[in-house]
Amino acid sequence: MAERIPGSAPAPLDEYPVHQTPLTMARVATSDKNFYDRSYFNAHDRDGGTMLITGFGVYPNLGVTDGYVCVRRGDIQRSVRFSDALGDRSLDLAVGGYRIEVVEPLQRIRVICEHEDLGMDLTWEGAFPVVQEQPHLIMRGGRPIIDASRFAQVGSWSGTLAVDGVDIPVDPAVWTGTRDRSWGIRPVGDPDPAGRAGAEPADGFWWLYVPLRFDDFSIIVIVQEEPDGTRTLNDATRIWPDGRVEQLGWPRVSLRYRPGTRIPVSLRLECTTPDGKPLDIDVTAGTNVPLHIGCGYGGDPDWLHGQWKGRGWVDSRTYDLTDPAIAARIPFGVIDHVGHARCGDAEGWGLFEHASMGRHDPTGFADWGSVAP
């Protein structure tokens, strides 16, 4: 009799023809602890001052699943997080009081959070088809620290949101946002041993992600650069309602920062259409959410995606972004801003996500302490 291999028993997903390897769906094709599979959403009332970030992830090699919701109003961020042991991998996307329902794949998603401090029942409606982004690969010391695939979409929100007892109507005529689904390898859970990376850290990290929704099309631009300005990720596309995707070349990026900081105020993207014509996009930054303060992204001292916090863990916190101890941490992570955009005569809204840490020669930042004049 063949011996049963622990952890290889069929999972509910094995009933569906979705296999990519000769493994059960309980296992992934790599033993890297940093394998992840998750969703990210943002929602905002355009220029009304409320911004929401939420997501759900599973980490099969860590045996963890988690979800979170973070809402910023004024200078206060309220975050609620759930984490638990990962059970059978199935179509049930839930942890604690948080769950996602796929109403219509790639088009309509329902996201629910049940907590006395922050509750919501929101439905996402895609405004344009999803688009597959370029693969994201970052190597350090011969090892991939990020090796991931992702698709993205812009759309609108409807439903109900309640923050600290205050009901906020979510009208799809006003509330818009973006989402992505990504999977692969990226740092999750407790940090890896520093090793060589601790002795020879990177000089800097520079990232720009701008998915925008206009009435007649959407535009998604991703740019990542090394400290010397070498571009390691360039992805610029325009998506039409019928699913056509135009590549928009190699965008020239011009950023204006708030003096004395690296917080962006505005952005110009100079793109090129497939027929060689210029396509310029101007984006102004509105309210923002630092992803490493309450959302579990890198550098968050309270909780990190995939981190084992025990079974049935629930946490609720508020963050005053004017608190000097918190304000000092804001520049050292990825920050999601509401983006108000213009492309010719078209007005759009979306996400203006940016990180500039350490050296970046094109913008004149010489080291980790450099700021805009």
**Domain parsing of the chain, residue ranges:** 35-187+204-363
Collapsing DSSP states into helix, strand and coil, what is residue 299? coil
Q: How far apart are CA 275 and CA 281, in angstroms?
A: 17
Nearest to 8 by CA among 20, 22, 26, 31: 26
Q: How far apart are CA 282 and CA 343, in angstroms?
A: 7
pLDDT at 310 over 50: yes
Identify the band that residue 228 occupies on the pLDDT scale cut at 50, 70 and 90.
very high
Q: How far apart are CA 108 and CA 201, in angstroms?
A: 42
Mean of the pLDDT values across residues 136-141? 88
Q: How far apart are CA 211 and CA 349, in angstroms?
A: 9
Block residue for tokens 């994201």 = 136
pLDDT at 2 over 90: no
pLDDT at 199 over 70: yes
Q: How far apart are CA 300 and CA 303, in angstroms?
A: 6
Under CATH, to which class is 35-187+204-363 assigned?
A: mainly beta
Mean pLDDT of the chain: 94
Integer angstrom CA distances of residue 96 from 81, 84, 252? 9, 8, 44
All residues at 6 or more sequence positions from 331 whose CB lies less than 8 Å from its CB, including other chains:
261, 262, 263, 357
Collapsing DSSP states into helix, strand and coil, what is residue 71? strand
pLDDT at 4 over 60: no
Share of the chain above pLDDT 90, in %: 87
Q: How many CB atoms neighbour CB 354 within 10 A?
A: 24
Contacts by 163-170 with C-beta closer than 8 Å and gap 24+? 163/71, 163/73, 163/78, 163/117, 163/118, 164/78, 164/117, 164/118, 168/50, 170/43, 170/122
Report the predicted TM-score, pTM, of the whole model to 2 decimal places: 0.95
Nearest to 69 by CA among 126, 121, 105: 121
pLDDT at 209 over 70: yes
Contacts by 102-110 with C-beta closer than 8 Å and gap 24+? 106/130, 106/153, 109/39, 109/41, 109/179
Token duo for residue 373: 């004049």
pLDDT at 114 over 70: yes
Q: How far apart are CA 108 and CA 13, in angstroms?
A: 21
User: In this predicted model, what pLDDT tens digit does every residue of 25-61 receive, in sequence order?
Assistant: 889 999 999 999 999 999 999 977 899 999 999 999 9
